[in-house]
Amino acid sequence: MNKTIEDILGRRSIRAYQDKPIPEEDLKTIIKAGLYAPSAKNKQEWHFTVITNKEVIDQMSGMAVEGMKRLELDMNDDDHIFYHAPVVIVISSKIAGFSGINVGCAVQNIVLASMALGYGSCIIGQTRYMYHKANKIDVDKLLKIPEGYEHDISICLGYPNQEAPAQKPRKEKIVDYIL
Amino acid sequence: MNKTIEDILGRRSIRAYQDKPIPEEDLKTIIKAGLYAPSAKNKQEWHFTVITNKEVIDQMSGMAVEGMKRLELDMNDDDHIFYHAPVVIVISSKIAGFSGINVGCAVQNIVLASMALGYGSCIIGQTRYMYHKANKIDVDKLLKIPEGYEHDISICLGYPNQEAPAQKPRKEKIVDYIL
């Protein structure tokens, strides 16, 4: 099968990682893939923070867990929202008409490039809960998010420490045709 | 180079198409790629309308152009927002926390799968202007958009009738590291 189609259909969310860094060259390729995503009118109004510092990754997870507990979501203190992955990429953007879709294109390029190079990844929305524990200025400063940008979503990645899970069933009635 | 990375880095917006339909099997693969995109909590709250009917494609373009003219945007009557591509995919979704990002992931899978199979594509935001010409109920009915869903964005695709344009320069200062 076409390798690109194979990667698109074979990508799964990976939730267990080896304690082993990703080689710098591969990480650069993965980030480049994100930067090459299309954006409305090619404005590229997004920002990526690439975090390999374990202490900061753990701190982020702890903040998000605390934020979720404050919202009375069912969390344990030792839950780790990044599954102890060695790399976290935080994406933020200027909020505008198509910013969510732009960010999604970059996210998908990053997870597919990771897959293509043999790494596992998981898209993590829970980083938004950091802002329920700490104030925006402090979180944005920690994560080097530029002024005027809002945190959208994160991705964790690394060498997988599990088999890829089965594809969850796709819902029906999603596609209509006008022939 | 890794074929998937090559397709990710090589994808460009194509704005001229041959008057030639895409074989059904390839179109199915492209749509499947969209359906296999990740979505928050795997809710798959999106909808794809696949349009190969030339009259409907032209009608949509005409409505969008009229909508833009009503907004005093500079448009000519013979502008075609889909560049006369033989296929248009309209994406809509239930608006929720991550719906824009979910849709972006599906969009990127569709344009990459198109690229992988040798087709050109272009992401078209201008279909939103149809709603400046006609009312939501009528547009949604024409496009088979389910109740409770909002139109997000469209993609046109087909055999390219141009060389891929050069990559536009990527902006600097987009990436920060926390090592």
Quick: pLDDT tens for B97-111: 899 999 999 999 999
pLDDT of residue B162: 96
Provide the pairing of β-strand B175-178 with A46-51: parallel
CATH number at residue B151: 3.40.109.10
Token pair, residue B167, equals: 């990559």
B57 alpha carbon, distance to own chain's centre: 13
- In whole angstroms, give the CA distance from residue A120 to residue A122: 7
- In whole angstroms, give the CA distance from residue B126 to residue A102: 15
Q: Do the domain assignments include residue A163? A: no
Q: Do the domain assignments include residue A175? A: no
In the block, which residue shows the tokens 């891929």?
B164
Average pLDDT over residues B55-66: 98
Quick: pLDDT tens for B23-53: 999 999 999 999 999 999 999 999 999 999 9
Residues on chain A touching B144 (C-beta within 8 angstroms): 176, 178
Q: Do the domain assignments include residue B176? A: no
pLDDT of residue B95: 84
Quick: pLDDT tens for A15-27: 999 999 999 999 9
Quick: pLDDT tens for B69-99: 999 999 998 999 999 999 999 999 998 889 9
pLDDT category at B56 given cuts 50, 70, 90 is: very high
Concatenating the DSSP letter of every residue in B70-99 gives: HTT----TT--TTTT-SEEEEEEE---TTH
In the predicted model, what is the mean pLDDT of chain A?
Answer: 96
Considering only CB atoms, A47 lies closest to which of B2, B174, B179, namely: B174
pLDDT of residue A1: 84
Quick: pLDDT tens for A62-100: 999 999 999 999 999 899 999 999 999 999 999 888 999
Question: Do B48 and A3 lie within an 8 Å CB cutoff?
Answer: no
Q: Please give the angle made by the CA atoms of B95, B96 and B101, to the nearest 5 degrees.
A: 90
Q: Scanning every residue of chain A, which has its alpha carbon at the shortest distance from the alpha carbon of B45?
A: A174
Q: Which residues pair with B150 in a beta bridge?
A: B93
Token pair, residue B105, equals: 């992931």
Q: Do the domain assignments include residue A31? A: yes
Considering only CB atoms, A174 lies closest to which of B8, B46, B113, namely: B46
- Give the predicted TM-score (pTM) of the model: 0.97
Q: Does residue B74 contact residue B116 with C-beta atoms inside 8 Å? A: no
In the block, which residue shows the tokens 């390999």?
A52
Q: Do the domain assignments include residue B28? A: yes
| Optimal mutation site among A1, A174, A179, interface B, most CBs of chain B within 10 A | A174
Q: Which H or E run contains A126?
A: none
Q: Which residues pair with A155 in a beta bridge?
A: A89, A123
Q: Total structural domains in chain B?
A: 1
pLDDT of residue B53: 98
Q: Do the domain assignments include residue B30? A: yes
Neighbouring C-alpha atoms within 13 Å toward the C-beta of A138: 9
pLDDT category at B1 given cuts 50, 70, 90 is: confident
Provide the shortest C-alpha distance from residue A77 to chain B (in Å): 22
Q: Which of B178, B114, B4, B47 has the alpha carbon at shortest distance from A57?
A: B178
Q: Do the domain assignments include residue A169? A: no
The CA-based dihedral angle spanning residues B146, A177, A170, A88, taken in that order and rounded to the nearest 10 degrees: -80
| Optimal mutation site among B4, B25, B30, B87, interface A, most CBs of chain A within 10 A | B4
Q: Which residues pair with B120 in a beta bridge?
A: B158
Report helix, strand or coil for B1: coil
Residues on chain A touching B143 (C-beta within 8 angstroms): 178
What ipTM does this complex have? Answer: 0.96
Average pLDDT over residues A136-157: 97
- In whole angstroms, give the CA distance from residue B166 to residue A158: 32
- In whole angstroms, give the CA distance from residue B87 to residue B111: 12
Residues on chain A touching B116 (C-beta within 8 angstroms): 2-5, 8
pLDDT of residue A164: 95
Q: Scanning every residue of chain B, which has its alpha carbon at the shortest distance from the alpha carbon of A40?
A: B125
Q: Do the domain assignments include residue B110? A: yes
Task: List the domain range (segments joined by +) for residue B19.
Answer: 3-158
List b or e across A64-91, with b for residues whose CB sees 16 or more CB atoms inside 10 angstroms.
Answer: bbbbbbeeeeebeeeebbbbbbbbbbbb
